[in-house]
A and B are shown apart, each in its own frame.
Chain A
Amino acid sequence: MAEKEMRAVYAETLMELAARDRGIMVVEADLMRASGTMAFRDAYPDRAIDVGVAEANLVGVAAGLAAEGKVPFAATFGCFASRRAFDQFFVSCAYAKLPVKLVGTDPGISAAYNGGTHMPFEDIGIMRTVPGLDIVEPSDPASLKALVGALAASGKPGYLRLHRKAIEPIYGAEETFALGKGKLLREGGDVLIIALGAILVPAAMAAAKSLEAEGIDAAVIDALSAKPIDAELILAWARKTGAVVTAENHQLAAGFGSAVAEILAETGAARLARVGVEESFGEVGTQDYLAKRFGLTAEAIAQKAKTLLAKRIKP
């Protein structure tokens, strides 16, 4: 796949699924233009519902549709999907075991000019508390397409952290993906970098390249799933390297790195340093400005890795 707007991939994938499965629906809260699902509405007008600016009702209506066997993808900005409609999602969808796929768009700094009100640095943390929930954050068009398909087929509620903008491909069309499974992008023996999402995975690869120039051999995993995390893959490479750096477009508290910290602390597999937003609300700026502002860059990842390795206690 060539570089492509992720929201276009999202909508096209749903249309492909809808052609085969009459149950596939999109439910939106006056953000169809943002989510890219206008094309879906044009193709399947009866299966695209716009509830207006009403996120609680968005999730509640989706729950009712799911109770009747539909597979609704209910989308809004990630801040509202998580913060504003959490109890609706928790009770009417997850607790009720109804397979609503909640889609939180514009994760973290990709909210850019919408600023602090619209910049979800906490949605993973919020959603991680939902028992049994699948949380995915695809890193490129191919992984997005495959994981939307996997969510649609799961029979369970899910949360998709959807980067809307154009993203360079990482994977070929033949690559296969599964919920709860990461991908090893690069082998390495000195340090393991585990990144999540369309901004930090390329940054992790760039960091690995710069570390290589300094004689440090970094492995890189594209996590893809924030819950369940791919403990098998992560622990295997954590044990090989003994040092892990996580990187996420999210705050550090209760984030993806926290999930990795849990399994590393319980197994003693490796030392850990985390790259993410430290105790801050979002703010306006370009995505590049915000990446530097909050330390979500290749340079920050490489620096964390070097600091961690310097402190490492050799057996």
Chain B
Amino acid sequence: MTLEANERSRLESAAKEIRKRTIDAIGYLGVGHIGGALSIVELLAVLYYKHMRVEPAEPRMADRDRLVLSKGHAGPALYSALALKGFFPMDWLHTLNAGGTNLPSHCDRNRTPGIDMTTGSLGQGLSAACGIALANRIDGRKSFTFAVIGDGESDEGQVWEAAMFARHSKLSRLIAFTDYNKMQIDGTTESVLDLGALEEKWAAFGWATARVDGHDVEAIDNAIGEAKLRAETAGGVPTMIILDTIKGKGAAFCEGLVTNHNMSFTYETAKKAIADLG
């Protein structure tokens, strides 16, 4: 399935806007998890501007789709998407990590409208997503549960406990993504703890898998569309979509830098990067 040109352009514009707001929010503060926030921007655009059933005025609407951002340190990108969708005022973005803010570094379901699960201690979110998907099925809701994990996060054993559980429990309405930007804090994922054949690992755990360019909105859209269709038809199988991404994507000052996990940069640098995006 190819996207209509105007639909593709709409999603790309949304991604660009999320990217700009994310650079701006972290730049305004002067420090933050810029790399892993920018690598999931296209995914957030496709989710929030096309696939997720959400209602900004009613963030806990029962039959909404859920998102667990298990790599909770990418919160600022998600906050930008949520603000743009109208979950809270845009000017909240400049309160990132200020004392008493509703927008902490790591996602907090009790502080931020639109955040479905508190995350930040890596490895825990996929388990929570399993519980959420299970509860929705028990209660007869057709909601999808989306979960985003990091590649470095995949070092955590709990991820693989959850992987076995999701397949065993036939959580077909659980659609997960790995932000495979191939970098973690201490270096490349290959050098720190090689993930090996990542897609094959998920397939071996019984998940349906796909591997796509994580900065191509059409490729992401297709993969999600197929996962949803599978949930309606085949059933019983959760989906893992591996997103080939670039850490720090779209901001020249940090793109691909191995040190961009959590870095300082000036607001001037941020403004320049935003201007470069056009």
Contacts and interface: CB of A to CB of B under 8 A. Distances in A.
B139 to A, nearest CB: 7
Contacts of B134: 49, 61, 64-65
Contacts of B117: 63-64, 67, 92, 96
A51 interface: yes
A61 B121 contact: no
Nearest to B139: A68
A91 B118 contact: yes
A60 B244 CA distance: 27
A96 B131 contact: no
Interface in A29-73: 46-47, 49, 51-52, 54, 56-57, 59-70, 72
Contact of A65 (B118, B120, B121, B131): B131
A64 B137 CA distance: 12
Contacts of B68: 64
Interface in B201-238: none
B264 interface: no
A171 interface: no
Nearest to A46: B138
B246 interface: no
Contacts of A49: 134, 169
Given A52-B164, A67-B128, A97-B110, A88 B158 contact: yes
Interface residues of B, number: 33
B123 interface: yes
A19 B169 CA distance: 24
Interface string B109-137: 11000001110110111111111111110
A87 interface: yes
Contacts of B129: 64
A289 interface: no
- The B interface, classified by DSSP as helix, strand, loop or mixed, is helix
B121 A56 contact: no
B165 interface: yes
A67 B110 contact: no
A84 to B, nearest CB: 11
Residue picked from A92, A95, A97, most chain B C-beta under 10 Å: A92
B118 A61 contact: no
B69 interface: no
Given A64-B129, A88-B127, A91-B118, A57 B162 contact: yes
Given A57-B127, A60-B124, A64-B130, A96 B118 contact: yes
A56 B138 contact: no
Contact of A61 (B108, B110, B116, B127): B127
Nearest to B143: A68
Given A67-B117, A87-B121, A96-B109, A47 B127 contact: no
Interface string B246-259: 00000000000000
Contact count band on A: 20 to 34
B190 interface: no
B59 interface: no
Contact of B157 (A56, A63, A69, A96): A56
B186 interface: no
B7 interface: no
A297 B33 CA distance: 55
B161 interface: yes
The winner among A57, A63, A72, A92 for most chain B CB atoms within 10 A is A57
Contacts of B109: 67, 96-97
Given A57-B158, A68-B132, A91-B118, A63 B110 contact: no
A64 B161 contact: no
Contacts of A54: 158, 161, 164-165
A54 B169 CA distance: 14
Contact of B127 (A46, A56, A95): A56
Contacts of B131: 60-68, 70, 72
A65 B118 CA distance: 13
Contacts of A72: 131
Given A49-B134, A54-B165, A97-B110, A64 B128 contact: yes
B105 to A, nearest CB: 14
B130 A92 contact: no
A96 B125 CA distance: 12
Nearest to A57: B161
Contacts of A46: 138
Given A65-B135, A91-B118, A92-B127, A60 B110 contact: no
Contacts of B130: 57, 60-61, 64
19 contacts: A46-B138, A51-B161, A52-B164, A56-B157, A56-B158, A61-B128, A61-B134, A64-B127, A64-B129, A64-B132, A64-B133, A65-B134, A66-B131, A87-B124, A88-B158, A91-B118, A91-B121, A96-B117, A97-B110
Given A54-B161, A68-B135, 4 more contacts: A54-B165, A63-B124, A64-B128, A96-B108
Interface of B: 68, 108-110, 116-118, 120-121, 123-136, 138-139, 157-158, 161-162, 164-165, 168-169
